[in-house]
Structure 1
Amino acid sequence: MKRLFIAFAAALLFISCNQNKPSEQKTVAEKPVAKKTQKDSIEAVGLKALKALKEKDYSGFASCFHPVDGVRFSPYGFIDPTHKHVLAKDFLEAIDKNWTLTWGHFDGSGEAIKMKVKPYIDRFIYNADYLNAEKKSYDEFIGQGNTINNLKESYPQLHFTEYYFKGFEEKYKGLDWTSLRFVFKKHENAYFLVAVIHDQWTV
């Protein structure tokens, strides 16, 4: 009799467990899966580039460069076709061999910007903590100075992000604002940088 009772209890437990499984599986199956948008993908690449710049991980930053087109670097908001344009391997080689490159021209004096890569990054790319920027935007401009901003004319139909600080010292009344813009282009189902543009107030 005791054995019969144990067998009956075991059968009830088995039936109960199997009745619960479908509902549990149904709950899991019904959970919505968030789909990654184009904006999400682009902003993720921008975040990766900013983290690499902050950590001075130049190989990590170069891994974000477009494999075919490379990256054009613009020291100010106006993009000139003569501004420095490099592939990732050339960028890293310039750092490794400590080359001095010509990046464009200084605002005001018009003198050539001849700098090694790391000092250029500190002055004209990651000159502020853009990873923790005051404002960030996608396909919208924030910083507006007196330099012509020709990003959309230079890169029509491409997407961009901007990272912006309104200024740091009250005495300058906002004239020390600064921003960094990344322009992205798709290659084999992934997005890469094709332009890195620093902007600020110019004379």
Structure 2
Amino acid sequence: MKRLAASLLLVLPVLALPACAQQTEPKAARQAVQALVPKVLEALAKRDFDRLATFVGDNGLTVSPYVMLDDSDVRLSRPDLQSCVTDREVRLWGERDGSGDPIEITCSQYFDEFVWNADYRQPDEVLYNEPRQRGNEINNNHDYAPDGIVVELHIRGDGDQAAMNWKSLRLIFRDGEKGLSLIAITRDVWTI
């Protein structure tokens, strides 16, 4: 269902763009967020959700277990993030690739499995506002925030399965009245 809706998701944001919305060039995007990205990654690595919440804007943080964002994705408020480690609420985060089984886990379990599943502080490649289609899932991150900055932290695959065991974490920022805010986190992996 999510892939079927992808075509509309790729077209609708472009049609709804205000005339002034345009993507920041990669060099300018890098300069704008390069000091912020390590702080966000450090908060994720240390599971410091109080610190992570300080980077999130008033509209919360949208998280997607895969690279494609849509309206069904979970949006966490700052208080949701601050209580992530202790919150025992089981949420529906999406569907598991391959089986279609629901991803029904706690916030803490979600971040362990679908966000910080590798040390993204040591990526093989970092891209700033450079759209890259790596796997089967449609990457609509740049369409989701056409006026934002998408930072991809990519870890190459290794061994015989290198074409399938790579992974990327994408952090999406938007500039607002209070400066840059983290508005979304997606994960890109090989999907079936």
TM-score (norm 2): 0.79
CA distance in 2, matches of 1:158, 1:41: 11
User: What is the aligned partner in structure 2 of residue 104 from structure 1?
Assistant: 94
CA distance in 2, matches of 1:143, 1:119: 27
User: What is the aligned partner in structure 2 of residue 44 from structure 1?
Assistant: 35
Q: What RMSD, in angstroms, separates the aligned Cα atoms of the two structures?
A: 1.7
CA distance in 2, matches of 1:144, 1:187: 30
**Residue 164 to residue 142, structure 1, CA distance change in 2 (3 Å):** farther
User: What is the aligned partner in structure 1 of residue 59 from structure 2?
Assistant: 69
Tell me how far 1:139 sits from its aligned partner.
Answer: 0.5
Q: CA deviation digits over 1:20-71, x for unaligned, max 9? A: xxxxxxxxxxxxxxxxx663342222211101111121211121111x1111
As a proportion of its length, which structure holds more helix?
1
Q: CA deviation digits over 1:51-106, x for unaligned, max 9? A: 1111121211121111x111100111111210101111122234333221211111
Amino acid at match of 1:139: N
What is the aligned residue count?
Answer: 165
Tell me how far 1:177 sits from its aligned partner.
Answer: 0.5
CA distance in 2, matches of 1:179, 1:38: 18
Amino acid at match of 1:39: R
CA distance in 2, matches of 1:53, 1:109: 28
Q: Indicate the structure (1 or 2) with the bigger Cα radius of gyration.
A: 1
Unaligned runs of at least 5 residues, structure 1: 1-36
User: What is the aligned partner in structure 1 of residue 163 from structure 2?
Assistant: 174
Amino acid at match of 1:146: N
Does residue 1:89 correspond to 2:79, yes or no?
Answer: yes
**Residue 39 to residue 173, structure 1, CA distance change in 2 (3 Å):** closer
Amino acid at match of 2:45: K
Does residue 1:157 correspond to 2:142, yes or no?
Answer: no
User: What is the aligned partner in structure 2 of residue 18 from structure 1?
Assistant: none
Give SS of 1:131's match.
Answer: coil
Amino acid at match of 1:49: V
User: What is the aligned partner in structure 1 of residue 176 from structure 2?
Assistant: 187
Unaligned runs of at least 5 residues, structure 2: 1-27
